[in-house]
Amino acid sequence: MANATPQRLHLVFGGELVDPQRSEFRNVEDIHIVGIFPNYASAYDAWKAEAQRTVDNAHMRYFIAHLHRLRDEEQEQS
């Protein structure tokens, strides 16, 4: 698979925070996993939809995690 573009996976998740000024979830068991997306653009669209859907709750936050940054198959300690 020479010259293959590396896969750039993104996880979109969110939930209710203890304090809107911090990123600590009120209940980890209630975290909403929106999904895993193949590129930032689709992850952003999903994030934006969830953020807009919950805009009336100041304690709700959604995040995009760059899963491809968590693993690097070229590095032994990844």
The residues, ordered by sequence, that sit 6+ positions from 59 with a Cβ below 8 Å of its Cβ are 16, 17, 18, 19, 20, 26
**Residue 5 covered by a domain:** no
Per-residue tens of pLDDT for the chain, all 78 residues: 455 677 889 999 999 999 999 999 999 999 999 999 999 999 999 999 999 999 999 999 999 999 977 766 566 554
The answer to whether residue 76 sits within a structural domain is no
- Split into its structural domains, the chain has a count of 1
Mapping DSSP to helix (H, G, I), strand (E, B) and coil, where does residue 18 land? coil
Tell me whether residue 75 is in a domain. Answer: no
Q: Which domain holds residue 24?
A: 10-70
Residue 52 sits in a domain of what CATH number?
3.30.70.2400
